[in-house]
Structure 1
Amino acid sequence: MGTAQRSYDEIVDVLARGGGAATVLAFRPSAEAQARVRDLLARSKAGSLTDDEKAELDRFEEIERLMQLVKARARRLST
């Protein structure tokens, strides 16, 4: 399983546990996922990503957008 898929799984686990807004707002990607994104971003800037790595980076960007929306909603619902 790739790192991007594990990131999706981490988010699903947080949401499935139903810990409420505080749990969602406290969520951070694993150290492994953060390191992978940093590597992909650096290599993207250098123009050295393979097609598969570009697709993986795109998935991470989708995950980030999803979590931004989830956290924004959690903030709004917790006030």
Structure 2
Amino acid sequence: MGAAEKIYDEMIDLFARGGGAGSVLAFRPSAQAQARVAELLERHREGALTDDERQELDRFVELERLMQLVKARARRHQP
């Protein structure tokens, strides 16, 4: 499972548990997912990404943007 798929799965679990705004704001990708993203970013800096890796990194960026929007909305709903 790639980094984006792992984070996507973690986000689904977060929302399925229904933990509320506090849980959303505390969400961080797993250490495994963060390590994979760091690896992809390093390969990107080196200009060594394969097409599949570039797609994986692009999906992660999309998920990161989505999570930023969700967290911004969650902040508005905190007491």
The TM-score by the shorter chain falls in which range? over 0.9
Which position in structure 2 is the counterpart of 1:47? 47
**TM-score (ref. length: structure 1):** 0.94
Q: Deviating runs (4+, > 6 A) in structure 1?
A: none
Which AA in structure 2 matches 1:19?
Answer: G
Distance across 1 between alignment mates of 2:58 and 2:2: 13
- Shift of residue 4 of structure 1? 1.6
Percentage identity across paired residues of the two chains: 68
Aligned length: 79
Unaligned runs of 5+ residues in structure 2 are none
Task: Please list every run of 5 or more consecutive structure 1 residues that lacks an aligned counterpart in the other structure.
Answer: none
1:74 is matched with 74
Q: TM-score, normalised by structure 2?
A: 0.94
1:1-79 pair list within 5 angstroms: 1-79=1-79
